[in-house]
Amino acid sequence: MSSRRAFLQKMAASALVVPAVSMMKAAAYPQAVNSVYDGPMLRVAIMGLGSYGSRVAEALLSCRAAKLVGVISGTPSKVKEWQAKYNIPEKNCYNYENFDRIKDNQDIDAVYVITPNALHKDQSIRVAKAGKHVICEKPMAVNAVEAQQMVDACKKANVKLLIGYRMHFEPKTLEIVRMRNAGDFGKILFFQGLSGFKIGDPGEWRLNKQLAGGGAMMDIGIYSINGARYMVGEDPVWVTAQEVKTDPIKFKEGVDETITFQLGFANGALASCLSTYAMNNLDRFFLNGEKGFAELLPATGYGPIKGHTHLGELTQPHVTHQTLQMDEMSAIILKGKKPLVPVDGEEGVKDMKIVDAIFEAVKTGKKVDLKL
């Protein structure tokens, strides 16, 4: 396993040695994957060994400053499979009943919670009480009240809580943020976020309100909510929203199919966004200012992200998002690094407050004021 890891690290490093790297602004681009690293290593256990957990595990093989050392799952067969695949010792394997025992395991620094949304709060709080740092996949909870409880529990336990906002480390995204901060777009006027795909299996947990907390908004719509905030560079102060449901059998009560929503910002900027489980080919961000614009298409997929601004094409190289994310989160947890775009629990609470307000606006048909 160590030889495979070394090979992957060398390949990742060589792939990044291209002219485009030297042209990028250092402040906007996380440190590239490098074959030489002698700093601290974040030792991570993954909770939830589904498809996304597998994606994170594979990405960790290429990380410089983070590695997979443990698993938590309710499926014994998956635990055995991961043990063999990733060389995980038996003492670092847990199930959902006994994972509180990680408190006594000095080989695990953090747990990445990648389970259905409704389980995040309780599982994250248990991890925090066990004295381990928490990385929780988004959305961090099913509402803002639960999200704040997670933040409070982690503060009480003196551990960090980070949310799996992988796009906050994506190079093209960060270049747009850097350009906005530098004033290249002038006053920001408008943002559009389109987030959606046509969901298949009607029996999957994402269409179960008890597990997901909703429908498309809790899965894909969160990208446009969060994207509006980091692209505009402010938090919204009001929201309006409208829901359309064409298939009430697949999308039962409390499970949204399609929601359009609008956000207003204190500086006068507006955002118009779409969240849907009923349409494909929707993954676009567009930012417009008085002096220029930026577009990402695709904007949030696993990559490569593509984009351009009024100054030309964005050429930052693609690196696996989860690899960048985990290396940067290692630096945040172990070195106290401050990311250009926050990924802490407070950031996640803000998104959940907006989600709550969107659902309220759909229900009431009224504009809902936001206090983030």
Active-site annotation, residues = 138, 223
Contact present, 41 and 66 (Cβ < 8 Å): yes
Angle at alpha carbon of residue 256, lines to 253 and 260, rounded to 5°: 140
**Structure-block tokens of residue 90:** 């038996």
The span from the CA of 76 to the CA of 335, in Å, is: 35
User: Closest Cα to residue 60, out of 116, 126, 1?
Assistant: 1
**Structure-block tokens of residue 336:** 């106290």
Contact present, 140 and 222 (Cβ < 8 Å): no
Is 27 exposed, middle or buried (CB count within 10 Å of its CB: 0-12, 13-18, 19+)? exposed
**Structure-block tokens of residue 123:** 């599982």
The span from the CA of 267 to the CA of 233, in Å, is: 10
The span from the CA of 50 to the CA of 302, in Å, is: 16
Helix residue ranges per DSSP H, the chain: 2-16, 19-23, 51-60, 76-86, 120-129, 144-157, 171-181, 209-212, 221-232, 321-335, 345-364
The span from the CA of 295 to the CA of 100, in Å, is: 45
